[in-house]
Amino acid sequence: MSSSGRIRLTVAQALVRFLGAQWSERDGERQRLFAGVLGIFGHGNVAGVGQALLQAELASGDGPGALPYVLARNEQAMVHTAVGYAKQTDRLQTWACTASVGPGSTNMLTGAALATINRIPVLLLPSSIFATRAAGPLLQELEQPHGGDLTVNDAFRPLSRFYDEVRRPEQLPSILLAAMRVLTDPAETGAVTISLPQDVQAEAFDWPVELFAERTHHVARPPAEPSRIEQAARIIRSAQRPMIVAGGGVHYSQAEDALAALCAATGIPVGETQAGKGSLLHGNPQLLGAVGSTGTTAANAVAAQADVVIGVGTRYQDFTTASRTAFAAEGVRFVNLNITPFDAVKHSGLTVVGDAREGLTALTAALEGWSVDDDYRQEQARLWADWDVQVEAAHHPSSQVTDALADGLLTQGEVLGLVNELSDPRDVVLCAAGSMPGDLHKTWRVRDRRGYHVEYGYSCMGYEVPASIGIRWADPSREVFAMVGDGGYLMMPTELVTAVQERTKVIVVLVQNHGFHSIGSLSQSLGSQRFGTAYRGRNDATGRLDGEVLPVDLAANAHSLGCHVIEVYDRPGLEAAIAEAKAAPADGGPVVIHVETDPMVFGPDSASWWDVPVSEVSDLDSTRAARVDYEQHKARQRSHLDPADLPPDDGVTQQTHN
């Protein structure tokens, strides 16, 4: 067919064919943009996108342009799977997700929020009502008297980096090209949502064949302006106690080596955000570990006195800044290297907009010959050594701690320590919610740049199991350890069935502590006495949920879903279980290790704070005491509105206005 030819396809068929021809490229390396489509069919997409995927699968098999389909069990979960995959591939690849009209589509809203907040590309294809309005969808039409064009899919608008609806076939090409731009833009990426009315999905149109030609979307590395690099270098050279905060942008830019080179040359220490953990590997002399509310005492001690904070690829999330109390030095200045201008302007810092790897390389050259003094380097080593003692104590609790535990219980720190010690450096640890993300942030020793995967931008309970599947698909050569508490497991265990279906081996370490460990601890610290955070039955004597532990067997539940389950009752049992799980066949499906821990034993303290308001008035003594402590911490919050002025001798001309 000539280049001016046309081909007759439905909107859904054209969509599927287009997606199969999209590629991304960075630094000369090219890969398919979409690994496949995750979906659940129902009213609204079964005869549109569903038919198109079937037709494409039968026509292409696994050949060029093939777009594999995977049946998921929960719409929110399938977005988490796509996010896990995209994050593990440094945002260079992702999945599309299709859902039925109404509740199937709105189930993806949480996933959309998670993807956008974490700046991870996913393509969402929610189904919508009839564009012609000739018929109403079965029980799933939002009837608003003030707007007939409103649908439940409009809820995706504030949660997406790009949103549009295909109301006529002619709109599809421009919508698709705009969507690909956002998916492959490292500064703008997030959830991309294309709403598909069910009648339009099945409507035929004569498409230009050029729409289906292979397209390679370049993922840019925009360099920072040389003048901004020079200004940043001047500010850093004037510092006595500079500190780097490494965020997720270090990983997404593959800038770990550039960061290590800068630190080796200058001696500037590094504190890591959750997304940036692993930017420097365990053992690097400039690594102080996690910073902020879930940070190490080493990083937080340096942060408290840092006179220049160099943020690299971080959005300065609340935990990172310890609710704006972490960086406490008088006159502290910020230099922010970020590919996203929105993040680069935070804390009135010097904005250096550009790719992290390119910016760090340029900054290293600009700082040639400059270094922090030896005393500062020695202080870093001493602080880290002191913290490492606390990590060892958490991973190997003393006999005084273990003797106080009930039979069959371990500490959470002990569980995390054993998984860390017995997993391979390239294995991936995964978590999202509860108390484990904080303990992992503080104590996990990262030995490979892709070995740590904690979703803490949205901290979404239930993320762990589906995301572990996406990570394993992204790199089958790595074992994936999904660390999940009983609360998170109960939110979304269903994707274990998807892992069984696809013979995907993931290792789920299910930590049973009969309640919400993290929120229970938070509740107690706020004077709310752990109210409503334990899994207990209704007590007939009190009428409250403070009765016996619920007779729920999560190990049996996992077994019923088709998993190989290993129940653990002591430390030697956990060691054996980890070895057994790692030795299980790669195509044997999920392995679940069930272990009970004591929720009253906590990880090492970060010597930091997080702003959670306490009731200003209360009848409870516990709440009144917590309010006093809250007000003391609140008084230490900083605005960080002072501009990052250059040193007086910087040579920059100052203009005055009368």
Q: Does domain 226-387 bear CATH number 3.40.50.1220?
A: yes
Place of tokens 């005393």: 375
Residues 424-450 have a mean pLDDT of 96
Residues 514-543 have a mean pLDDT of 77
Closest Cα partner for 474 from 171, 85, 78?
85
In the chain, the amino acid numbered 114 is L
Residue 311 CA to residue 334 CA, distance in Å, equals: 7
pLDDT at 200: 97
Least confident of 136-145, 270-279, 300-309, 330-339: 136-145
Residue 95 CA to residue 407 CA, distance in Å, equals: 45
Least confident of 295-304, 356-365, 508-517: 508-517
pLDDT at 1: 41
pLDDT at 657: 37
Closest Cα partner for 274 from 430, 44, 508, 98?
430
Q: Where are the beta strands (DSSP E) in 314-391?
A: 333-338, 350-353
Domain ranges of the chain: 6-218, 226-387, 396-514+550-596
Residue 243 CA to residue 334 CA, distance in Å, equals: 10
CB 640 within 8 Å of CB 334 = yes
pLDDT at residue 651 tops 60 = no
pLDDT at residue 515 tops 50 = yes
Q: What are 357-379's pLDDT values in tens digits?
A: 999 999 999 999 999 999 999 99
Closest Cα partner for 315 from 356, 280, 283?
356
Q: Grade residue 4 by pLDDT with cuts at 50, 70 and 90.
A: low
Q: Grade residue 64 by pLDDT with cuts at 50, 70 and 90.
A: low
pLDDT at 624: 86
Long-range pairs for 55-63: beta carbons < 8 A, 24 or more residues apart: 55/13, 55/16, 56/13, 56/16, 56/17, 56/20, 60/20
pLDDT at 630: 87
pLDDT at 264: 98
Which residues have a Cβ under 8 Å from the Cβ of 132 and sit 6 or more positions away? 199
pLDDT at 655: 40
pLDDT at 214: 96
Half-sphere exposure of 14 (CA within 13 A, CB side): 28
Same CATH fold assignment for domains 6-218 and 396-514+550-596: yes
Ramachandran angles phi, psi of 242, nearest 5°: -75, 160
CATH domain 6-218 topology: Rossmann fold (3.40.50)
Q: What are 116-150's pLDDT values in tens digits?
A: 999 999 999 999 999 998 888 777 888 888 888 89
Residue 113 CA to residue 559 CA, distance in Å, equals: 32
Closest Cα partner for 261 from 375, 374, 359?
359
Q: What are 346-358's pLDDT values in tens digits?
A: 999 999 999 999 9
Residue 482 CA to residue 488 CA, distance in Å, equals: 11
pLDDT at 387: 97
Half-sphere exposure of 484 (CA within 13 A, CB side): 30
Which residues have a Cβ under 8 Å from the Cβ of 364 and sit 6 or more positions away? 258, 261, 262, 265, 266
In the chain, the amino acid numbered 539 is N
Percent of the chain with pLDDT over 90: 77
Beta bridge partners of 566: 593
Which residues have a Cβ under 8 Å from the Cβ of 185 and sit 6 or more positions away? 219, 220
Specify the CATH number of the domain 396-514+550-596: 3.40.50.970
